Chains A and B, each alone.
Chain A
Amino acid sequence: MTQITEKQEAREFHAEATSVWRITFGPLLWAVHFVVSYSATAVVCAKGGDVGVLRLGIGIGTFLALAGIAWLGWRAWQQWDTLRNRGWENDTGTSQDRHQFLGHAAFLLAAISFIGVVYVALPPLLIESCQ
């Protein structure tokens, strides 16, 4: 009997490994968007490239990053399941708590990443030149 629960626990614990990874994906998209936007701007402005194309590119990249983060955020929201299972704490150490806590963390990270991407994108989208 204990054998079975332990095995089951181990399996569930293992299944959570992917969602540990998943909580990093939001900030990762933010970081990639940040690095690509900044370096592309630096190169285009220093080498005298087409600023219009650059801004269009950043616009498209921003749209893709936001779509990705929104999707991750939605998945995390479902995993957190806070509407059905109200309460901010998941501190009892059960597998369900672990599952919801990881969803909670991933959701908050997705939210901050979303805001980060929007704020990074606003200057190149609203300022029309390199000056």
Chain B
Amino acid sequence: MYVHSRNALACLAAAFVLSACDGRQSVLAPSGTDALSVFDLARVMFIGAVVLWLLVGTLFIYVTRINPREMSRRKAEILIVGGGVVFPVLLLGALLVYSLPLMNAPRLADEGLRVHITAEQWWWRVDYELPDGTRIPSANELRLPVGTRTGLVLNAKKVIHSFWVPALGGKTDMIPGRETFQSLQPVTAGVYRGQCAEFCGASHALMAFETVAMEPEDFAAWLEAEARDAQPPATAPARRGAKIFAREGCGGCHTVRGTDAVGQVGPDLTHVGSRKSLAAGILDVTAEDFADWIGHTDAIKPEVAMPSYDFLPREDLAALGIYLEGLK
């Protein structure tokens, strides 16, 4: 028992250290302007609190142990009025003046690009809006250019969710019937994990997404590719997969631009093969994981809105996997 709990403790410590190092989803590894300023604020608060604690503790030991004599009235008054009224008022005032303006940045307007994100149970509908009004639909992944501020127009379908990419900025609630706004400005290219941060039902914990911060040129190239229609299946198994996709009526819920599939119930699958994750940050983008997902949706995500195609033969699932994985 004792050894057990010691192991658990070691694991916990290791997990803490490792999770802080990995930093894909950590406020302790900030990579966006807003996360950086919150990190600074946290450090100021923490160090300040430690200094204050030491100061008060030392003073306490001084007056009770080291020099426990009666103080002159004047000294006592200075200590009480100065340390009890003037100092805290000035300190709290200074902290307010420092921290309140930090709330401006995440609410600043975008610099051209806006992304409309709608939280559904349990995935993210994503829609890029260019300055000229063009819309590029996507899902379950957010891509942002490094160095510029991108606006996020947030909404929710049925219940409240919350949008949060810890490494890039603060969180904002997503409320049905009400638009909320946040902007993000990544400073270093990389892949950061986001997570729904407001309990939204059975698969709330399985509602995540990857955020890919890209150099502006890379981002422009990616966006251009994302706007294109789906590539037609290139190999025989992929073509078979496309046929099964049509036969099973997947297009009633999913859109694959450039094909007959125009459903709006589930995520857009036009370029699903080029995403970093599958099923809202839960699986990998491999033909096997696609097949697993389609055959066992509700085992992977409890109460999911997509039916499980467990009646399909293994070869059909594999073909679907190959087709979808090829939708780059």
Q: Please give the residue numbers on chain A whose beta carbons come within 8 Å of chain B beta carbons, in ascending order.
A: 111, 115, 118-119, 122-123, 126-129, 131
> How far does the alpha carbon of A131 sit from the alpha carbon of B100 in the complex, in Å?
13
Residues of B near A122 (CB, < 8 A) are 93, 96-97, 100
B89, B92, B101: the one contacting A127 at CB < 8 Å is: B101
Asked if A123 and B100 sit within 8 Å, CB to CB, the answer is yes
Given A115-B89, A118-B93, A128:B100 Cβ within 8 A: no
Given A115-B89, A118-B93, A129:B104 Cβ within 8 A: yes
> How far does the alpha carbon of A131 sit from the alpha carbon of B179 in the complex, in Å?
11
> How far does the alpha carbon of A122 sit from the alpha carbon of B97 in the complex, in Å?
7
Measured between C-beta atoms, what is the minimum distance from A123 to chain B in Å? Answer: 6
Q: Is B314 positioned at the interface, with any CB of A under 8 Å from its CB?
A: no
Asked if A127 and B93 sit within 8 Å, CB to CB, the answer is no
Nearest first, the 3 A-B pairs at minimum CB distance are: A126-B100, A131-B107, A126-B101
Residues of A near B9 (CB, < 8 A) are none
Please, which residue of chain A has its CB at the minimum distance from the CB of B96?
A122
Given contacts A119-B92, A127-B100, A129-B107, 14 further A-B contacts (CB under 8 A): A111-B85, A115-B89, A118-B93, A119-B93, A119-B96, A122-B93, A122-B96, A122-B97, A122-B100, A126-B96, A126-B101, A127-B104, A129-B104, A131-B107
Please, which residue of chain A has its CB at the minimum distance from the CB of B107?
A131
Asked if B96 and A131 sit within 8 Å, CB to CB, the answer is no
Q: Is B39 positioned at the interface, with any CB of A under 8 Å from its CB?
A: no
Residues of A near B96 (CB, < 8 A) are 119, 122, 126
> How far does the alpha carbon of A126 sit from the alpha carbon of B107 in the complex, in Å?
13
Residues of B near A128 (CB, < 8 A) are 104
Q: Is the interface of B mostly helix, strand, loop or mixed?
A: helix
Residues of A near B101 (CB, < 8 A) are 126-127
Q: Is B103 positioned at the interface, with any CB of A under 8 Å from its CB?
A: yes
Q: Is B181 positioned at the interface, with any CB of A under 8 Å from its CB?
A: yes
Asked if B97 and A126 sit within 8 Å, CB to CB, the answer is yes
Measured between C-beta atoms, what is the minimum distance from B165 to chain A in Å? Answer: 18
Measured between C-beta atoms, what is the minimum distance from A69 to chain B in Å? Answer: 14
> How far does the alpha carbon of A128 sit from the alpha carbon of B106 in the complex, in Å?
12
Residues of A near B104 (CB, < 8 A) are 126-129
Which of A115, A122, A131: most chain B Cβ within 10 A? A131
Residues of B near A118 (CB, < 8 A) are 93
Please, which residue of chain A has its CB at the minimum distance from the CB of B101?
A126
> How far does the alpha carbon of A91 sit from the alpha carbon of B138 in the complex, in Å?
76
Please, which residue of chain A has its CB at the minimum distance from the CB of B172?
A131
> How far does the alpha carbon of A104 sit from the alpha carbon of B181 in the complex, in Å?
49
Residues of B near A131 (CB, < 8 A) are 107, 181
Measured between C-beta atoms, what is the minimum distance from A131 to chain B in Å? Answer: 4
Measured between C-beta atoms, what is the minimum distance from B181 to chain A in Å? Answer: 6
Asked if B97 and A127 sit within 8 Å, CB to CB, the answer is no
Q: Supply 22 A–B pairs (Cβ within 8 Å), ascending by A.
A: A111-B85, A115-B89, A119-B92, A119-B93, A119-B96, A122-B93, A122-B96, A122-B97, A122-B100, A123-B100, A126-B96, A126-B97, A126-B100, A126-B101, A126-B104, A127-B100, A127-B103, A127-B104, A128-B104, A129-B104, A131-B107, A131-B181
Residues of A near B181 (CB, < 8 A) are 131
> How far does the alpha carbon of A111 sit from the alpha carbon of B93 in the complex, in Å?
14
> How far does the alpha carbon of A115 sit from the alpha carbon of B86 in the complex, in Å?
11
Interface mask (B100-115 → A, CB under 8 Å = 1, otherwise 0): 1101100100000000
Measured between C-beta atoms, what is the minimum distance from A116 to chain B in Å? Answer: 11
Residues of A near B97 (CB, < 8 A) are 122, 126
Residues of B near A126 (CB, < 8 A) are 96-97, 100-101, 104
> How far does the alpha carbon of A119 sit from the alpha carbon of B103 in the complex, in Å?
16
Please, which residue of chain A has its CB at the minimum distance from the CB of B99?
A126
Interface mask (B237-281 → A, CB under 8 Å = 1, otherwise 0): 000000000000000000000000000000000000000000000
